[in-house]
Amino acid sequence: MKVLVPVKRVIDYNVKPRVKADGTGVDLLNVKMSMNPFDEIAVEEAIRLKEKGAATEVIVVSIGEPKAQETLRTALAMGADRAILVAAAQEVEPLGVAKVLAAIVGEEQPGLVILGKQAIDDDSNQTGQMLAALTGRPQGTFASKIEVSGDAVEVTREVDGGLETVRLSLPAIVTTDLRLNEPRYASLPNIMKAKSKPLAQKTAADYGVDLSPRLRTVQVAEPSKRQAGVKVGSVDELIDRLRDLGVAA
pLDDT, tens digit (0-9, with 9 covering 90-100), for 93-151: 999 999 999 999 999 999 999 999 999 988 999 999 999 999 999 999 999 999 999 99
Is pLDDT above 80 for 247? no
- In terms of pLDDT, which residue wins out, 219 or 201? 201
So where are the chain's domains?
2-244
Is pLDDT above 80 for 249? no
- In terms of pLDDT, which residue wins out, 104 or 248? 104
Cis bond before residue 171 (omega within 30° of 0) = yes
The C-alpha atoms of residue 57 and residue 49 are separated, in whole angstroms, by: 10
- Average the pLDDT over 207-219 and give the result: 89
**What's the CATH fold of domain 2-244?**
Rossmann fold (3.40.50)
Per-residue confidence band for 4, with pLDDT thresholds at 50, 70 and 90: very high
Q: Supply the mean pLDDT for the chain.
A: 92
End-to-end CA distance of the chain: 60
Distance of CA 156 to the CA centre of its chain: 18
In percent, the amount of the chain with pLDDT more than 70 equals 99
pTM value?
0.86
Per-residue confidence band for 228, with pLDDT thresholds at 50, 70 and 90: confident
pLDDT, tens digit (0-9, with 9 covering 90-100), for 184-199: 998 899 999 999 999 9
Q: What is the largest CA-CA distance in the chain?
A: 71
Query: Using CB atoms within 10 A of its CB, is residue 17 exposed (0-12), middle (13-18) or buried (19+)?
Result: middle
The C-alpha atoms of residue 79 and residue 59 are separated, in whole angstroms, by: 10
Is pLDDT above 80 for 47? yes
Is pLDDT above 80 for 176? yes
Cβ count within 10 A of residue 139: 18
Is pLDDT above 90 for 218? no
